[in-house]
């Protein structure tokens, strides 16, 4: 019925084989281990990507405002930022960033720099929040080309 490579099992007994050269008696255990490992890897990948793939509208709007910023936010930008800061669906980080962006005059306000640095390095912040905070820190009249490019990459995901 089945091919027995080492002759330990009768040829009439069916063997489950992974084709990986594993001893026939261990093949099923080996496959179950592979399946568990794959499930764990998929779960971890999903958790890591969750922060990147599911950006809120507020984060997207703020990223677009920062990309287009020229010295300070426009009146329309400030209107959007006020709405974000007052929206119950905005996260605490998004509300803080909205206030910080609305106060930009050529560069982030001195009082906001420490908050931005903390957000940029926090393990609790989403990738959008971290990238936005870093981009805001880079602003000298405009965001740096590198920071703007990083925001564009996030927007394209």
Longest dimension (CA), the chain: 82
* Residue 65 and residue 85 in contact, taking contact as beta carbons nearer than 8 Å: no
Alpha carbon dihedral 92, 95, 99, 101, in 10-degree steps, equals: 110
Instruction: Give the chain's count of helices (H) and strands (E).
Output: 7, 0
Task: Report pTM.
Answer: 0.64
With a pLDDT cut of 90, the percent of the chain lying above it is 17
Which tens digits make up the pLDDT trace of 73-98? Answer: 999 889 888 998 998 888 899 999 99
Angle between helices 92-102 and 75-86 (to 10 degrees): 160
Alpha carbon dihedral 30, 33, 34, 37, in 10-degree steps, equals: -160
Cα–Cα distance list, 136 to 8, 145, 149, 150, 152 (Å): 68, 12, 13, 12, 14
Cα–Cα distance list, 75 to 44, 89, 94, 107 (Å): 42, 23, 19, 17
* Residue 127 and residue 154 in contact, taking contact as beta carbons nearer than 8 Å: yes
Which tens digits make up the pLDDT trace of 24-76? Answer: 555 544 555 555 556 666 655 555 554 444 456 888 888 888 888 888 899 98
Alpha carbon dihedral 120, 126, 128, 129, in 10-degree steps, equals: -40
Answer whether residue 9 shows pLDDT above 50: no
Q: Where are the domains of the chain?
A: 1-51, 55-155
């Amino acid at each position: 019925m089945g091919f027995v490579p080492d002759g330990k099992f009768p040829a009439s007994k069916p063997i489950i084989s992974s084709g990986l050269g594993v001893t026939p008696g261990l093949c099923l255990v080996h496959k179950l281990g592979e399946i568990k490992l794959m499930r764990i890897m998929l779960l971890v990948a999903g958790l890591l990507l969750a922060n990147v793939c599911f950006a809120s509208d507020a984060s997207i709007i703020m990223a677009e405002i920062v990309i287009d910023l020229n010295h300070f936010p426009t009146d329309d930008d400030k209107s959007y930022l006020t709405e974000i800061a007052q929206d119950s669906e905005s996260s605490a980080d998004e509300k803080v960033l909205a206030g910080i962006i609305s106060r930009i005059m050529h560069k982030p306000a001195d009082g906001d720099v420490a908050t931005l640095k903390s957000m940029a390095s926090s393990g609790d912040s989403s990738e959008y929040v971290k990238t936005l905070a870093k981009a805001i820190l880079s602003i000298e009249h405009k965001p740096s080309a590198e920071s703007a490019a990083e925001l564009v990459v996030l927007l394209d995901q």
